[in-house]
Structure 1
Amino acid sequence: MLTSQRRALISTRLTSDGQIVAGELAAELKLSEDTIRRDLRDMASAGLLKRVHGGALPITPPLPDLEARQTISADIKKRLGQKAAELLHAGQLVFIDGGTTNAQIVRALPREMKLTIATHSPAIATLLEKHRAEVILIGGSLYKHSMVATGAAALAAIGTLRPDIFFLGATAIHPAHGLSTGDYEEAAVKRAIAARSTETIALLTEEKFNAVSPHHIAGAEEMAGLIVPAGMAQDVTAPYRDRGLQIIEA
């Protein structure tokens, strides 16, 4: 097999499987592991993939800063937020993750609805100023890129809560590798909230599908549902429907 053919195969496998394990691919192609590792090294140098111990992951495009993200897919995010807000009922304890999509949940909430909203995002909490909802703001070390609290203090406070619903934000979702994000500490906080919540629902724009970010949050099967843009291709959402997830189109 020519070098160009191997590297095309590697790119295809990254898209379909979400990872390359060097030893497994070498055995499949009856090549030395050093040959595959050299391919991965050269492709990483060219910015085509991300090298990790034992193989490679797809490159996840870097997120722009929070202010810039507010203008990306704004209409779609508004629809996702409105659909999420429709799932809420008075009296619930709801945990809302940070992010520009989840901010739209708060904007869609009726101001007179009596419920308790917990969040580790100061930006989300600020949006609730004129709402009747009680607000629990989780503190900790501020991860400025996403404007959310992380670290030991945040984890300790989260451990005292039992949310009815957690609206999760993620940068990527893949059928085999689940939901992931770009920061180690932020991923740990998201995992902790999900573990305490009765159900977790992720709001996801289309570009986040079939991608993998460096830090794992949860398997797809751990989600209660996904809120996605209407009209997405069936072959993209089918793996999640097959796992019993509710796919809610907005």
Structure 2
Amino acid sequence: MRRSKASRQEQILAELNRSPSLRVAELARRLAVSTETIRRDLDAMTEQGLLNRTYGGAVRPLGTEPSVTERHALHVPERERIAKVAVPLLKTARILMIGSGATTVHVARRIAVEMKNIAVITHSFGVATVLSLNPTIKVLMMPGDYHPGEGATVGVHAVSFLNDFHADCAIIGASGLAPDGPSEALLECGAVYSAMVARAARCMVVADHSKHDRVFAARYTPWRNVATLVTDRPPEGALRDALDQNAVSVALA
């Protein structure tokens, strides 16, 4: 069955999440297309900053992620399932903090449908937009410097704003999940997430399996500060051991 260009490129990114480097010939075999088609895809994705071309293949840029707009097209079924599992775990919460990201927007969309008469503090314009569908939800938008690639406010004003609030739960995504904790590719967002964890009674991390065993620059909290991880596949190896040792509840979607 012939794949569309968008479908091929989504699969290429998914393969890069599983392997640090890819070869043109192997990709062509897996996707059942010509090597020339794969080369054109890799060239186009390099121009978009999604990967780096190498001789005969491609690698993901170290410590980087696609923009939040591009991430919205990836792992959509997994993120929808994660949101479906996450929201019932929030039923007793009245004040939430929600970080930026594609998965947290899915969670916010589900919150807008299933919850009411709550307050949400966020720095994500995507989160605020989907929550606006429910007039009973009060949204407090954090100030700060606008980060266009993430669609969120960041910086010292965003972090200091959180110091005046407490929340029942902070709901945060992650670029990577490693044995020492969840991490974020953007240092500025990592600082906001750390502040959210510090100002919330508990923390829920929502992240699909492509984030397992990946490490990025900003570890925003150790696992001992995380109450729940909602993900779509069971963590394995050292990551699973770290979650068990820190009594992190894993909810599978």
* Common topology (TM > 0.5): yes
Structure 2: 5+ residue runs without aligned partners?
1-19, 21-52, 55-59
Question: 1:167: how far off?
Answer: 0.5
Pairs aligned (count) = 195
Larger of the two Rg values belongs to structure: 1
Q: Which residue of 2 aligns with 1:187?
A: 190
| 1:103 maps to 2:105 | yes
- The alignment's C-alpha RMSD in Å is 2.4
Partner residue in 1 for 2:168 = 164
Match of 1:245 in 2: 248
1:77-116 equivalent positions in 2, closer than 5 A: 77-89=79-91, 92-109=94-111, 110=113, 113-116=116-119
> 1-side partners of 2:223 and 2:170: how far apart?
15
Structure-2 separation of matches of 1:75 and 1:63? 19
Identity across aligned pairs (percent)? 19
In 1, Cα distance between equivalents of 2:201 and 2:227: 9
CA contact (8 A) 1:90 1:113 kept: no
Aligned counterpart in structure 1 of residue 64 of structure 2, from 49, 59, 62: 62
Q: Is the 8 A contact 2:63 2:185 kept in 1?
A: no
Measure how far apart 1:166 and its partner are: 0.3
Deviations 1:114-173 (A, max 9, x none): 111111111110111221211111111011221111112111211111010001111011
Per-residue Cα deviation, 1:160-217 (whole angstroms, up to 9, x for no partner):
1101000111101111x31211222211111111111100110111121112101221
Question: Does residue 227 of the first structure (1) align with residue 234 of the second (2)?
Answer: no
Contact 1:91 1:116 in 2 (8 A): no
> Are the counterparts in 1 of residues 223 and 242 from structure 2 also a CA contact under 8 Å?
no
Aligned-partner SS, 2:189: helix
Is the Cα–Cα contact under 8 Å of residues 170 and 204 in structure 2 kept in the other structure? Answer: yes
Q: Are residues 234 and 113 of structure 1, via their aligned partners in 2, closer, same or farther at CA, if it must alter by over 3 Å?
A: farther
Is 2:211 aligned against 1:218?
no
Instruction: Give TM-score, length-normalised by structure 2.
Output: 0.70
Report the CA distance between 1:243 and its aligned residue: 1.9
The answer to whether the Cα contact below 8 Å between 1:241 and 1:247 also exists between their aligned partners in 2 is no
Residue type of the alignment partner of 1:107: R
1:188–1:237 Cα change, 3 Å: same
Give distance in 1, aligned partners of 2:245 and 2:156: 36
Structure 1, unaligned runs of 5 or more? 1-14, 16-45, 48-57
Number of the residue aligned with 2:157: 153
Deviates more, 1:71-80 or 1:104-113: 104-113
Matched-pair contact (CA < 8 Å) for 2:109–2:130: yes
Distance 1:75 1:194 in 2: 27
2:138 corresponding residue in structure 1: 134
2:76 is matched by which residue type in structure 1? Answer: A
- One-letter amino acid of the structure 2 residue matched with residue 71 of structure 1: A
Per the alignment, residue 118 of structure 1 pairs with: 121
Tell me how far apart the structure 1 counterparts of residues 81 and 62 of structure 2 sit (CA, whole Å): 25
Specify the code of the residue in structure 1 equivalent to 2:225: E
C-alpha change, 1:153 and 1:207, in structure 2 (3 Å) is same
CA shift, 1:224, in A, is 0.7
TM-aligned CA deviation for residue 236 of structure 1: 4.7
Change (3 A) 1:74 1:59: same
TM-score normalized with structure 1 length: 0.71
SS at match of 1:77: helix
Q: Distance in 2 between matches of 1:234 and 1:74?
A: 26
Q: Which amino acid aligns with 1:85?
A: V
